Amino acid sequence: MMTRKVAGGEAEEMKRRNAELERAVAEAAAREERLRRELEAALARLAVAEEAEERLCVQLGELEAEAVEQAIEYQERVRALSERLAFADGVLRSSGIRGFAAAGASTSRMD
Could you read off the pLDDT of 35-80 as tens digits, one per residue? 999 999 999 999 999 999 999 999 999 999 999 999 999 999 999 9
- The model's confidence at residue 111, banded by pLDDT at 50, 70 and 90, is very low
Return the C-alpha torsion angle 68, 73, 75, 81, nearest 10: -170
Max CA pair span of the chain: 139
pLDDT score for 96: 83
pLDDT score for 101: 55
Whole-prediction pTM: 0.54
Q: What is the DSSP string of 18-58?
A: HHHHHHHHHHHHHHHHHHHHHHHHHHHHHHHHHHHHHHHHH
